Structure 1
């Protein structure tokens, strides 16, 4: 009996917490902000070049390791495949810069 009372009190506290959190979240972020279709801040035109270079770091390091250790064709293919997104972002930066 005592355990049931404690469980009920704990459950009420949890539900109150979630209700309070939902109210706070609704007040903090209005619907226009939460549901607007906008791109994340790091994908603006000025950052395409930086993100492109950063996304080329891992493929270039893997290429260096593959050459030093002579790991074979699989790592060269990995290098080519992982370079596409970074190169695409760098090209996108320069094509949008010209407009």
Structure 2
């Protein structure tokens, strides 16, 4: 191998590393990953759906406590657990 060949191979190797670094930075950049999509943490939340989902557990506990006649504690649990769900539903209709 002559000195000239050695230098050409060295240049090719350096070019490969530079090309790989460019490709790698493009591959994992936010513009490449998200393009025109907004990230999940920027999307507007749907308070109505979240409120309804938060009301399912208290509603089920109310039905079970009424069927099994479990006492006043479950009714208090129902009232306390309805606060976050009803707050989100109210927040949904206020934001409209």
Give the TM bin, normalised by the shorter chain.
0.5 to 0.7
Q: Encode CA deviations 1:19-64: one digit per residue, 9 max, x unaligned.
A: xxxxx8xx7366xxxxxxx98357x25x100110011001000000
More helix per residue: 1 or 2?
A: 1
1:76 aligns with 2:75: yes
Deviation at 1:67, TM superposition (A): 0.4
Give the aligned partner of residue 96 of structure 1.
95
Q: How many residues align?
A: 63
Q: Scaled by the length of structure 2, what TM-score is found? A: 0.56
Give the aligned partner of residue 28 of structure 1.
28
Q: 1:94 to 1:50 in 2, by over 3 A?
A: same
Deviation at 1:96, TM superposition (A): 0.6
What are the residue-to-residue correspondences of 1:36-47 with 2, within 5 Å?
Answer: 40=41, 44-45=44-45, 47=46
Say which one has the larger Rg.
2
CA distance in 2, matches of 1:87, 1:40: 23
In structure 1, list runs of 5 or more residues that go unmatched.
1-23, 31-37
CA distance in 2, matches of 1:39, 1:88: 23
In structure 2, list runs of 5 or more residues that go unmatched.
1-23, 31-38
Where in structure 1 do 4 or more consecutive aligned residues deviate above 4 Å?
Answer: none
Q: Scaled by the length of structure 1, what TM-score is found? A: 0.55
CA distance in 2, matches of 1:82, 1:96: 23
